[in-house]
Amino acid sequence: MTVTNKMTATNQTETENKNYNYPKVTVFSDRCAGCEECLVRCPTEAIGMDNFSWTITINEKECVGCLQCVRTCPFSAIKIESDNLSKQRVELSYHHPKTLLSDRSETRRGITNWKDAIAEASRCIGCPDPTCVRGCPTHNNIPGFIAAIREGNLDKAEDILSNTTVLPDVCSRVCDQALQCEGSCTWSLAGYEPVAIGALERFITENSNIAPLEVKSQKGAGLNVAIVGAGPAGASAACELVENGAKVTVFEKSDKPGGLMRTAIPEFTLPQNISQRVWDSLKQTKAVTFEFGKEINANEIENLKSSYDAVIFAVGAQSPLKLPVTGSNLSGIVDAVEFLEKADTLLKEKRTVVEMYPDAFEEFNSQVKGPNSKPMILVLGAGNTAMDVARISKRLGADAICIDWMSQQFAPVRPDELEEARLEGVEIKFNTTVSSFSGDKFVKTAHLSLTEQTIATKPPKIVKENAIELKVDLVVMAMGFRLDKQLQEKFSELPFRKKTPEMIDRVWQASGITAVKEVKWARGQSVGNLSIARENARLKAGFPITDNVWVVGDALVGPSTVVEAMAHGKNAAVSILTHLNQKASINTNKSDNKDSSLNKVNVLVAYDTRSGNTKKAAELLVSDLSDDSYNTEILPVAKIRLKDVVASDLIVLGTWVEGMVLANVKPAKSTLKWIKSIETFGNKPIICFLSYGVNPKKSLDKLVNELSTRHGTVIYKTAIKSSKAKDKLPAIKDEVLQLVNQYFENKN
């Protein structure tokens, strides 16, 4: 290791590492503050501390070049030069059917033997602050189950997985790991191949017995919850509720559960016995009642509330996106979900695509055809669903072309899906879009234009109009879906936009997941920003959108992935178990309750103070809340994030007035910035007050308006003159205490 002072670095000859198998490490001593951020996150304990200079030391022989220290150092005090020291990734196999026609066999194969499983598991270096866990929407304990594989203990690995996921067999097959756990692996962040986390997860599920669903606690005893939608979000919510003693009724418009996992993902990608496994388990418990063939729309939610303690609305995004181009109203243009549902039936019956839409293929059937003549299906889109449509089209005896106006590097498709489709003969044209369709009654020709795209966040531009004429027999729209219009009309705040907040949690930043803006394995995207945006959406799923109604999955954020929906469903269920299980009266002695903590109200006291007076006032306002009834946490707004708001039942917010009386008097800027960063308060009750020196003017109204705009329910508000606070606070405190007790007594 070379310790270099920045001021003399240009004149210093660095000591060369004689063993080139080890990384070359340079520590800039003038930048190192001795904060030990790197030391506590080094997975190999290669970092130490010089107690005299209070700067770090690095043992190059222990360093593996993962660059965690480089990413987490706040002062850029470390430089590492090395080749890839990670072991070679186990190669995963692909099953290519000899004859595609009518073939339903699973094409993507996992790790099939212990030797390869242990070899791949050994590539994991067991990070103390694992970024892969942050990249996983359900926060699976990835290092934990990988360590169990290294030990040869599949039962332990399965137990670890079951703590956070109910669909490990599904997610290991259909997750886009490159944008989630694997893209967030420390090796990926360092620019190398990540651990094959998805394949190891699949190895566990294929070689161990997944434990049956059983009641683990009585936290939800007495609760009766309605779940609308039998997809991954609904499955996760149902499992969490049942395991905690609650009763569940599942409403599903189809005659079978599974949602899009069953109807929109072909069996060669996700076998139906795998997608149905969790529902088979739920059917075996007496705590779950199924109402199949019963569609519940957004306007019927209120009716359910009268019969159930809570409602979880977990329907998928079902309205397909359509191209606003000439000829889009012609027959023979269908959406992907409709096509995949019909195609699945045909494939099982070993029939061909021309039997799916006889009228559309009438002209094709009437033509004199050669032995290799096949109908042409144009698929609009080049995402994972588009690949499924094209690949199943090949199995139904058609040719298929996928087009997408985006550049390949920015397209939302798994690389392995793309490669498999091409291996099966699917033609994929990126930077290509439809200008118009033509035909008599049925679509016969697609007029295509060429585009270019250089930046992922900016839409492509057309550079050559009507460059290609393509003869087609059927067009399938696989460009994505949007929320049901009725749901958006009922809840105007939907969909919740997944975005990186302005104030990023320090814990996430310190992990180093946000340090790399373009991750090669993640197709050049920022896995840190993607992960934090998903996390905010997951936390949002813990908020009721209205009294005792939770919205999750696609219904909350628009089209999302299986694992995201599953994470939403679990968080909504946890929220119900936490916030609706306050059965006992607030002022009743709970000494006979064996688990009285279940009945406590969580009070979050948020303050923003300049001289300390606002903090003291906030503490006084909640000082008489009974310890038997309330859990109270007092924090400055600078330390409070969305997760803290989700965990609360009541928020007390105190701030101060800034500005000159004759100028712009308003609540403290830092408070307003914090409110905006939270984005939503989930209709939680809020008591707010502010202190002022001379005249608050409309500051209190501004504060209340900011909270209300972000779905905070202000149940009490007051402005207190600083010089008279000692006299007024006792009376205000008694009023607040009485109001809070009354509020929760009425709620229960």
Same domain, 428 and 495: no
Task: Show which of 442, 457, 479 is a domain's final residue.
Answer: 479
Strand partners of residue 443: 439
Listed range (328-337, 512-521, 622-631) with the worst mean pLDDT: 622-631
Map 675-744 to HEC letters.
HHHHCCCCCCEEEEEEEECCCCCCHHHHHHHHHHHCCCEEEEEEEEEHHHHHHHHHHHHHHHHHHHHHHH
Residue 46 near residue 63, CB atoms below 8 Å: yes
- Residue 601 shares a structural domain with residue 738: yes
Look at residue 586 and tell me if it is in a domain: no
Same domain (yes/no): 552, 605: no
Q: How far apart are CA 161 and CA 532, in angstroms?
A: 22
201 & 235 share domain: no
Check residue 442 and report its DSSP letter: B
Q: Tell me, yes or no, whether 703 lies in a domain.
A: yes
In a domain, 511, yes or no: yes
Indicate the DSSP class of residue 199: H
Residue 19 lies in a domain: yes
Residue 328 makes CB contacts below 8 A (sequence gap 6+) with: 322, 437
CATH number of the domain to which 58 belongs: 3.30.70.20
pTM for the model stands at 0.88
The CA distance from 526 to 549, in Å, is 33
Instruction: Kindly report the CATH number assigned to the domain that includes residue 737.
Output: 3.40.50.360
Total number of domains constituting the chain: 5
Within a 13 Å sphere around the CA of 169, how many CA atoms are in the beta-carbon half?
16
Residue 108 lies in a domain: no
Identify whether 657 is part of a domain: yes
What is residue 581's predicted lDDT score, i.e. its pLDDT? 67
| Residue range 367-401, pLDDT digits in tens | 766 667 889 999 999 999 999 999 999 999 999 99
Does residue 733 contact residue 623 with C-beta atoms inside 8 Å? yes
Mean pLDDT of 500-506: 75
Same domain? For 371 and 395 the reply is yes
Q: What is the mean pLDDT of the chain?
A: 88
* Whether residue 268 sits in one domain with residue 131: no
Indicate which CATH number applies to the domain containing 506: 3.50.50.60
Q: Are residues 374 and 231 in the same domain?
A: no
431 and 294, same structural domain? no
Model pLDDT for residues 23-75, shown as the tens digit of each residue: 899 999 899 999 999 999 999 999 999 988 889 999 999 999 999 999 999 99
Residues 36 and 54 in one domain: yes
**In which domain, by residue range, is 154 found?**
114-207
Residues 623 and 513 in one domain: no
Domain end, chosen from 444, 479, 514, is at: 479
Domain end among 579, 606, 637: 579
Strands 399-404 and 376-380: parallel
Confidence at 634, pLDDT banded by 50, 70, 90: very high
pLDDT value for 52: 87
Q: What is the pLDDT of residue 578?
A: 87
In tens, the pLDDT along 698-710 reads: 999 999 999 999 9
Q: Is 101 contained in some domain?
A: no
pLDDT of residue 171 exceeding 80: yes
Give the model confidence (pLDDT) of 248-276 as tens digits: 999 999 999 998 888 889 999 999 999 99
Rounded CA gap, 237 and 255, in Å? 20
The span from the CA of 421 to the CA of 415, in Å, is: 10
Confidence of residue 558 (pLDDT cuts 50, 70, 90): confident
Q: Which two tokens stand for residue 8?
A: 């003399």
**pLDDT (0 to 100) of residue 631:** 87
Query: Are residue 614 and residue 664 in the same domain, yes or no?
Result: yes
Tell me the average pLDDT across 301-316: 91
Of 86 and 474, more confident: 474
Structure tokens at 487: 């749901």
pLDDT band at 10 (very low <50, low <70, confident <90, very high): very low
Same domain? For 371 and 458 the reply is: yes
Q: 28 lies in a domain?
A: yes
